[in-house]
Structure formats: structure tokens, C-alpha cells
Amino acid sequence: MAQTLSLDDVLRRGDTIQVEPIILTQLATVVGERNIATTVADMIAYSHDIMPSVFKWVRRDDVPYLPRLIIYPDSTEEVQEIVKICSYYDIPVLAAGGTSGTIAGMVASNGGIVVDMKRMNRVIEFNEYSMLMTVQPGMLGQDYEDQCNMRGYIGGHYPQSIRCSTVGGWVAPRGVGTFSTKYGKIEDIVQGLQVVLPDGSLMETVPVPRASCGPDVDQMFIGSEGTLGIITQVTLRVWPKPEKVEWVGYGMPTFEAGIDACREILIQDLYPAVMRHYDALEASHAFKDLGYNDAVENEEAGLYFGCQGRSELVDLEVKVIHEACKAFGGVERPGFGKRWFSQRYNTGYLKNAYMLPNGTGDAIECASNWHNLAAMHDEMRDRMYAAGAGEVFGHGSHFYPTGGNLYMIWSAVADDEREIEKLYWRVMDAAMEGVLAVGGAIGHHHGIGLNKGPWIHRYQPSAFKVVQKLKDALDPKHIMNPGKLGL
Amino acid sequence: MRIAEMRAILENTAIDHVYYRTYDPMARCIGREYTPHRSAHIALLVGAGKLGWDASGVAESMYWSINSKIEQVWNLDCSGPLFDTDTGEWNRPARADVVDAGLAPDFVKEIEANVKAKGNAFGVDDDKGAVGKADVLYVVDDSTRAFNPEIAEAVQKVLKDQGVSFAVLAKGTDGWGLYDLGLFDLAEEKAKEFAGFVKESGAKTVVANCPAVVYSLREWYPTMGLDLGAEVLHTTEYFAQLGVKGSYSGTVTFHDPSYLCRYLGVVDAPRTVLGNVSGLELVECFFTKDKANPSGPLLGFIDEEYIDLIAGRCAEELALAASTVITAGPASKRNLMRVAEAANINVMDIAELLAG
């Protein structure tokens, strides 16, 4: 049960049931036979997320990781019983939401069964006075936002994957939304969790704004990527619908000048919902579309803001943004932000590199403090080019009073098909080395999964030992999503 | 094998970077990863010779989609032309391959048997007489005949009240639903037969209350060289042209059938008709027009429980707007009626509303 199973293995064996009959019967007793899927088609459907290498597997008809079966629980109690059975028989358990992760966080790299949480998609409670929404984790992201909107509120969490990810899938990798500077990251939005632990017992936190009652247990599970348990309920903050929305955009003389402007705004305690800052190469794509040829010629970096909320606050944010950008040499570039907003869920460009015959690429997110952000950009870019990347550009899209993230997007074409994966990992390694060289974080919101596993032990190694000990204590049999998060 | 020639579209669908699951009925309502991009991946493996249709679940996986075009609308909304693909473009040929391999799911075999035995998808006894002659022909589709004859009665009452002289075609099947299920040969045979019935009437205007029939006659028949020599209209379009008026006291919401709002792009006509009903207040559902969530399949589906889950979710959302739901397609009424009691809604066709 804990061995990697490929499509070739399954076809060679000629059978479809990859689980011992007695275990299958026990699982069926929990959820009913019709809520267990064991066909080859089902296994293929759950064989991958959207880690970039997956596209190459698909294109060469390779299916390297198949789960043994897929099970569809409808309640926390059913999840508990499933986990108890898996714990008894040492069966790896992989919780799946929208399967939209980019870091191979849910692939069955050690065999096991997939617990698809999407049947658990209901609103449990909406407390309007406290502005808290409690939902099951399998609710799809846009569905969650729609449920908030139907009640006159917004969820405030808008990852690019909102229409394919689930609420549980936001929490598991410690994700962020594009409006995060105002509304916070998922760890700021979540106020309570219910988690089925690896022995099948239930862990629940009290959804209060804050408590001085020991370490924050919610935060131990936010970002645990299914390695410490399965999230079965989430309580999240919601916000009133904004009264006013404004978009403003600027061309900046350098990437560093844009970073300075962002910092200036945040240290004045203003938090525009959207702050996105692009290097000159990435900004040039948008500037060309918008007809700002002078900005392209001048190699301007691009910076835009989305301000929303109470009208007077929006007006103040726009005023301060304008002052800060002007102070650092910015030129107004109207339409820049709105252009992004109209295409905010479009990830088609990421596919372009993979549609080329020997093309590859990725979007790597990482984080650092203000004083290192520009250096991290340059360090990563230079190392990635040296490792064989054809084009590298980047932007920051989530900021804090002390720093921000970087999203380094790269593409390359290998000499031949056999070299594609080698090239991918060479560039990936260069990027990670660049981050570590300046003391940054190797992941900002995608998580670690299998994809960044090789580097996680080098990022704050002494702290990682604590995570390892937590894993060993909670999951001594290592059945929960084994191999992910470097565990 | 048809799909062996379709690698490009299958690959493009299979590696769709962020397939938009939120409004996909299988992900949203059933809670399974039975999305078009997953079934395209499976079809890709079959087309490449890596997998056989006879491997477990593979043939059935081509029937995971109800082909409502809802995913196309949202993919287009999110990603623009890069993912502007109708799932039916590749999964109908894939289904035809499955049928050729003798591996069609049971519900498809049942529909095929009904058509061969009785001439229609649901096995009802058809009118055996000749089609009457008139400038206007009203087509009563097989779903209306089998499940909701009250819609046909209402349509005819409205037409009579308007003084329209019309003939009725209440036999055979237009074939599109069969084509959608991969029964290509049978679909074409029945389409030709149906076109003959229409021509027999000499009608200049063909009116159908089933949007899929309108799509079939208006869009699909010409691709097979079947020229009906008539304008084909949905009842809502015809009623809007006629300026049909009615009266009703209360609040209603409108469910846009998939074939009407997405396949035909008709969203204004039903609202024009509802606007001509005195005393009626229309409250739009959260999901409306081309973004209306599908109520279920056109003819049938791989699992009856799935239909209830899809219809149930749709009904829940409609109920938030009003407890009386007006729709304009027999499949929508048939599907929503399955869950109407649980969702505490009343469902009626727009023709029934007008007929009083």
C-alpha cells in the first residue's frame, strides 16, 4: 500500500482493485460502496496536481503516480473512521481538495489512498455579528466567495486558483490571496480549525480572535500540507462589501524604486488591498498592451494598486500612493491595474512554455525583507540564467510592513526531450540557491510538497527539526501525506 | 478511432493549467474530480494506445460531463481564448468510439433501444399519423411527450389564444441528444427522418419548447446538409415576437436552460416574455443568463443520484431568489421537478405561466 504505483504497474497486473479486500470492506462500511472509487479511470483522475512537470508527463503519456483508491467522505466522523482504518493498516492518506496545487502536494508518491474532500462542501454557520463563516473544507473557493456575497459580505481571499481550489486547500499550504495586503493571508483570515489527527482523533480550536493560552495551535496546522492531519472544518473572517474601489498604476524608473515606494506606503500604516510590482521585463508585456511604448523604451518597472473599502480611506490611500510613487520617480500609467484585474485568474501564460516541443518553466514564489528584496530578485535571476533559463522575470505581489514576496517566472527550451526535466531541476536549484544566499524563504504561498522538498531542510534547519518532531509525535507511522513538506 | 486524430485538443484540455472546477457540476455538486480535463487526459491515453476503452471505468469516464458548456463559459471568462473549448468537441467523438467498441454505459444502451423500438429516446408511444400542413409547426420533443405533456398543452393553448394556425409534430426524435451520447449513426438516421417530418408540414416557421431541439434544427442540421427551409424558433423567441401577454400575481425567478442560454445565446427573449406578464415580479437568481448553473442532463446520465445532486444544487440557488421557478426547457423542468419538494420550489414552464 505504501509503494509508488504507476499506470504501467496497474495495467501489467491487469486488475483494478489495488487494496486488500478486507480493507476495502471496512472503508465501504464507513462511507458506503458508492463513495469509494477503484477504477483505473478514477486513479488517473487523481494522479496529479498541476506541478509544471505534470504537463510533461501528460504530453508523453506517462502516469507515474496512481493512488490505490479514492474515497469520498461526507462528514468529519467519516474522515475519522477512514483515518483510523488507514492508521491501523499503515496506509498512506492523501487529502485532496481542488487538486490545483503546483508543488506535487497531493500526488501518491508513496501509494496510499486519496480522501477527496469535495463532498464536504457545506456552510456550517454564518455568524453575521461576529462576521465569521464556518464551512467544510471541500467547498470550492469561488463557491465560498459566492456564499459570502449572497449574504452581503466578501471573503477577502482571492488566490489566482480561486475557481479551482478549495477552502481546505487554501489552508493546507498556507496560501495567500491577491488582495492579501488589506485582508491578510490565510493564516490571518482563519480563526478556527477542526482537524482529524493521524490516529483518527479530533482536534478543534475555539474560534476566538486571539488567546493567550499557549502556542497558537491553528498555526501549527496551517501550512502542514496534510502531513499532520486532515482539515475538516474552517472558520474564517469575512468583510463587508467595499464601498469604493480605485485602481492606480505607475511606471517606476527601477525595480528598487518601486520597492521603496511600496515600503513608504506600508510604513505609513496604509494597506491597499492589491499591491503588485513588476520588474521591467515583466512590466513591458502589459505596457505594450496598453500602448505605453515610452515606458517600454525606458525599461520602466511597473507598480499598481487596488484600493478598496470605506470611501475616505480609499481616497487617503490613493493620495499617499501617489505621493510615494512620485517621490521615487514614478510616472502615472492609468489602466495598468485594471488590466490585471480583468485577467486576474488567467494562468494561460504558464502553459505556453510547456506547449513548446522541449519547453519548460515555472513560477517560483519566495519571500524576504525590504533590505534584501531587490538583491534576491537579482540573485535569483542571474543564477537562473546561468543555469539555462531562457527568460526570467519577476514581480512582488504580497507586501508587509517589513518586506514582501517575489514571484520569479521563468521559461526555457531544452536541447532535446531527455534534457527537459534535468533543465527544470537545474534552474529550480539555481533559484533556490539564490533565495538561500540572501536569507530568504524558499516558499511564500504555494507550499513545499514534493517540489521544494530538496531544499526545505536547508531553510531554517533548526526550526525544521521542531516540525519534524511534531510530525513524529503526531504521526509516528508517517501515514499522512508521506514525503511532502520534506517529511 | 476518432480520438486518435484529436491529440491537440485533448492535450490542450488535459493540461489546462487551472481547470475551473467551481461551476463544473461534477466537482461542485457531486464532489468528484470527474472534470473534463481529467477525462481528456484519459482519452489522450486511449488515443495514444496506452490504455484501452475496456480498462475499468475508462469508457464511462467519457460520460462524466453533461456537456452544458458551463465550463466553457467560465474558462473563457477566466482565461480568454486559450481555453475556449467546448468539451463536446472531443468527448462526443470519444463517446462514439466507446459506442463503436460496444462499451456504451447502460443508460446509453437503454436510450438507443428505446429509439430503435419506439422512435424516441424515452420509449413513449408516438403519434403514428401524418404530420399536418401549416405555416407554423410546433415540435413536441420526446422529453416533453414522455415527462411533461402539460408543457405541450400550454404551448398549444397560447398559440391558439394568439390566433396562430399551426400543425403539431409529436413523433420521432431530432437526433441531437443521441449524437451527444455518441450514437452518431443512429443520430444521423433519426435527424434525416425528423427533417422529413418537418418538411412534410410545409412550415415556414418551426417552433419548439425544447431549446436543444432548436439548437439541433437551427445549428446542427445545416452541418449535415439538412435544409428545413424554415425559420426555427424557441417558444420564448416566438412568444416575444407575437407579443404574448399574460398575468400572474407574485414573485418568480427564471432558470436559463443550458441549451437556451449557452448553446443558442438566447437570454433576452424569456425576459421579454416575462416582462409582458402583468403582476409578475422577476427576481434574478445569483447565477443567471449564460452563467446559470445547469439543472442536469439532456437525456440521461451515468448515475441517477448524480442528477438529483446537480438539480438539487441548482434548485437551492434558485430558491434563494424565489420559490416559484419559471424555466423554458423540458429537460430543465424534468430535472428540477425531481428535487422541487426538497428545495421547496414550484417549477413551471414559461408556456404554462402564459397559459394561466
ipTM of the complex: 0.94
Give exposure, A134-173, as e/b (b: 16+ Cβ within 10 Å). Answer: bbbbbbbbbbbbbbbeeeebbbbbbbbbbbbbbbbbbbbb
Residue B293 C-alpha cell reads as: 448553473
Q: Looking at the complex, does the CB of residue A348 fall below 8 Å from at least one CB of chain B?
A: yes
The whole-number average pLDDT for the span A256-282 is: 96
pLDDT in tens, A444-462: 999 999 999 999 999 999 9
- Contact at CB, B27 and A351, closer than 8 angstroms: no
Who's near A322: CB < 8 A, 6+ residues apart? A248, A332
Which residue is closest to B306 within chain A, CA to CA?
A34
Could you give the CA distance from residue B10 to residue B2 in angstroms, rounded to a whole number?
12
Who's near B243: CB < 8 A, 6+ residues apart? B276
- Chains A and B form CB pairs within 8 A to the count of 136
Q: Which residue has the higher pLDDT, B50 or A20?
A: B50
Q: Which of A16, A55, A146 sits opposite B15 (nearest CB)?
A: A55
Q: Is the pLDDT of residue A366 over 90?
A: yes
Q: Which of A116, A150, A354 sits opposite B15 (nearest CB)?
A: A354
Q: Which of B15, B44, B74 sits opposite A61 (nearest CB)?
A: B44
Residue A397 C-alpha cell reads as: 505581489
To test the contact with chain A by mutation, choose from B21, B30, B91 the residue with the greatest count of A C-beta atoms within 10 A, namely B21
Q: Looking at the complex, does the CB of residue B2 fall below 8 Å from at least one CB of chain A?
A: no
Residue B227 C-alpha cell reads as: 435544409
Q: Is the pLDDT of residue A12 over 90?
A: no
Q: Which of B11, B30, B58 sits opposite A59 (nearest CB)?
A: B11
- Contact at CB, B31 and A354, closer than 8 angstroms: no
- Contact at CB, A98 and B27, closer than 8 angstroms: yes
Q: Which residues of B fall within a CB distance of 8 Å from A39?
A: 55-58, 60
- Mean pLDDT estimate for chain B: 95
- Residue pair A64/A84 in contact (Cβ under 8 Å)? The answer is no
Could you give the CA distance from residue A414 to residue A206 in angstroms, rounded to a whole number?
52
- Contact at CB, B82 and A348, closer than 8 angstroms: yes
Give exposure, B126-152, as e/b (b: 16+ Cβ within 10 Å). Answer: eeeeebeebebbbbbbbbbbbbbeebb
- Contact at CB, A96 and B57, closer than 8 angstroms: no
Residue B8 C-alpha cell reads as: 491537440
**Which residues 302-331 in chain B show a CB within 8 A of chain A?**
305, 320
Report the gap between the CA of B50 and the closest CA in chain A (Å): 7
Predicted pLDDT at A356: 84
Q: Is the pLDDT of residue A256 over 70?
A: yes
Which residue is closest to B29 within chain A, CA to CA?
A119
Q: Looking at the complex, does the CB of residue A268 fall below 8 Å from at least one CB of chain B?
A: no
Contacts of residues A205-209 at CB distance under 8 Å and 24 or more positions apart, as own/partner, are A207/A132, A207/A134, A207/A235
Helices (H), A6-137: 7-13, 21-31, 40-45, 52-59, 76-88
Q: Is the pLDDT of residue A309 over 80?
A: yes
Considering the entire predicted model, what is its pTM? Answer: 0.95
To test the contact with chain A by mutation, choose from B28, B53, B77, B78 the residue with the greatest count of A C-beta atoms within 10 A, namely B78
- Contact at CB, B18 and A40, closer than 8 angstroms: no
Q: Which residues of B fall within a CB distance of 8 Å from A346?
A: 78-80, 82
Could you give the CA distance from residue A459 to residue B288 in angstroms, rounded to a whole number?
49
CA B45 to chain centre: 29
Give, to the nearest 10 degrees, the angle between helix A370-386 and helix A255-266. 150
Report the gap between the CA of A43 and the closest CA in chain B (Å): 10
CA B153 to chain centre: 20
Report the gap between the CA of A207 and the closest CA in chain B (Å): 27
pLDDT in tens, B91-138: 999 999 999 999 999 999 999 999 999 999 999 998 888 999 999 999
Report the gap between the CA of A62 and the closest CA in chain B (Å): 9
- Dihedral (CA of B49, B53, B56, B62) sign: positive
To test the contact with chain B by mutation, choose from A10, A42, A47 the residue with the greatest count of B C-beta atoms within 10 A, namely A42
- Contact at CB, B51 and A11, closer than 8 angstroms: yes
Predicted pLDDT at B172: 95
pLDDT in tens, A117-168: 999 999 999 999 999 999 999 999 999 999 999 999 999 999 999 999 999 9
Q: Which residues of B fall within a CB distance of 8 Å from A150?
A: 286, 320
Q: Is the pLDDT of residue B81 over 80?
A: no
Q: Phi/psi at A31 (nearest 5 deg)?
A: -110, -10
Which residue is closest to A152 within chain B, CA to CA?
B286
pLDDT band for position A15 (cuts 50, 70, 90): low
Could you give the CA distance from residue A300 to residue A279 in angstroms, rounded to a whole number?
8
Q: Among B80-84, B190-194, B217-221, which stretch is predicted with the lowest mean pLDDT? A: B80-84
pLDDT band for position A253 (cuts 50, 70, 90): very high
Q: What percent of chain B has pLDDT over 70?
A: 99
Q: Is the pLDDT of residue B328 over 70?
A: yes
